[in-house]
Amino acid sequence: MTRLALTIEWNGAAYQGFQRQSHGPSIQQALEEAAFGVTGEEVRVHASGRTDTGVHALGMRAHFDLSRSFDPFRMAGALNAHLGMGNYAIAVLDCVEVPQDWHARFSCTGRAYEYRIINRRAQLTLEAGKAWRITKPLDADAMHDAAQSLIGLHDFTTFRSVHCQSASPVKTLDRLDVRREGERVIIEAAARSFLHHQVRSMVGCLTMVGQGQWTRDDLIDALEAKDRCKLGLNAPPDGLYFVKAIYPGE
């Protein structure tokens, strides 16, 4: 048995997220079909994290098993050739063989996301579907200051989707930084794991701070309420990117 680990990039606009869905195309389905086209084997692709409909990835990690050996470099090229023929907006950036006890999800010790906002009045053209346009000026410094109140171990029920399948709403947020680069406002989040919609919900509330609708204290009150009904705003998926997964020894 050979276990191959992939690093994957994709544009999520046309997909129902990573996990297979009965109502539309998914990244998992596209990869599994590509692997079958290359090897003739039906495989199950496991990823380091699930993503929502419309969410993008810059460096998602995943793995699958084959009954025979296969050169990783050739596998990456063959998968990309298959995905290219189907006009999938997915690319395999790297492929390596890993031990049988390595698991894309369960071996992962950290995950990082980035959210991209374009803060301008004009509509998006080149970045349509790849960022969230907000026309009202945002105070990125105020957003960053408020974001620090979410760092650490908390019950994030307010920022958790009602459809979240996590066993507990308690998570440790390691980093939540906000910075401005010209008309761009970038939010970076890192933690061992996240709840369903947690990043988008935190971003949505931070934009309310940035527009002066909320204060830092309002954000803290929402967190401490532990009530989804107290959420100010859930940001759209367009601007969210899974950046990287972290593993021991890497």
- Which residues form the catalytic set? 52
H-only helix segments in the chain? 27-39, 72-85, 140-147, 198-210, 216-225
Cβ atoms 48, 104 nearer than 8 A = yes
- Cα–Cα distance for residue pair 207/197, rounded to 1 Å: 15
- Dist CA 149 CA 133 (whole Å): 25
| Long-range contacts at 73-82 (CB < 8 A, ≥ 24 apart) | 75/4, 75/38, 76/6, 78/38, 79/6, 79/31, 79/34, 79/35, 79/38, 82/33, 82/34, 82/37, 82/38
Residue 4 near residue 97, CB atoms below 8 Å: yes
What distance in Å separates the CA atoms of residue 104 and residue 6, rounded to the nearest whole number?
9
